[in-house]
Amino acid sequence: MRVGIGYDIHRFVEDRPLILGGVDIPHIKGLQGHSDGDALMHAVCDAILGAAGLDDIGHQFPVTDDRYAGIAGAELLEKVREMIEAKGFKVDYVDSVIILEEPKIAPFKEGMKSAIGKALGVDKNNVSVKATTQEGIGALGRGEAIAAYAVASLVKK
């Protein structure tokens, strides 16, 4: 078994949809990014890439490459799955936490688990999505951004 950790953060901006864990969440702002800004999907990508001993998401899908402009985080995660499968691995489990003040994501967690599981080819019960606040501290606490951490375990196919 191999284990990796991932982290991502994106700033809130006007005139963008808020997409987290592959789910479109109604909110007055979205997340800035070269892709869709899905901090949760990006953190999961990095956790899996790390566990497989591959370079991080920024190396695999650089912001200088227009092929990835606006790409969905779920699509990036599918590409990551293909990369690790080529190395003889499959995802065993993903645990994640989103750090944000708002919006509340409880109504969307099952959809996130399903979207992540689908992109990885695993049952949604092998995906955990949790959320917490920053208790008003720092940029995350002021509601300027959303961050996510993820841990993934891989096993040989």
For the chain, 157 residues long, give each residue's pLDDT as a single digit of tens. Answer: 999 999 999 999 999 999 999 999 999 999 999 999 999 999 999 999 999 999 999 999 999 999 999 999 999 999 999 999 999 999 999 999 999 999 999 999 999 999 999 999 999 999 999 999 999 999 999 999 999 999 999 999 8
DSSP, collapsed to helix, strand or coil, labels residue 34 as: coil
What's the pLDDT score for residue 24?
A: 97
What's the pLDDT score for residue 49?
A: 98
What's the pLDDT score for residue 99?
A: 98
Quick one: how far is CA 122 from the chain centroid? Answer: 15
| Dist. CA 96–CA 99, nearest whole Å | 10
By DSSP bridging, strand 30-31 and strand 23-25 are unpaired
Residue 117 CA neighbour count, 13 Å, CB half: 15
What's the pLDDT score for residue 133?
A: 96
Enter the tokens of residue 8.
């991502």
What's the pLDDT score for residue 43?
A: 98
**b/e code 28-63 from CB counts within 10 Å (16+ = b):** ebbbebbbbbbbbbbbbbbbbbbbbebeebeebbee
Q: Which of 79, 16, 12 is nearest to 44 (CA)?
A: 79
| Dist. CA 26–CA 30, nearest whole Å | 9
What's the pLDDT score for residue 66?
A: 92
What's the pLDDT score for residue 118?
A: 98
Asked if CATH classification 3.90.1170.50 holds for the domain at 2-156, the reply, yes or no, is no
What's the pLDDT score for residue 121?
A: 97
Identify whether the C-beta of residue 13 lies closer than 8 Å to the C-beta of residue 47. Answer: no
What's the pLDDT score for residue 71?
A: 94
What residue segments make up the domains of the chain, in order of their start?
2-156
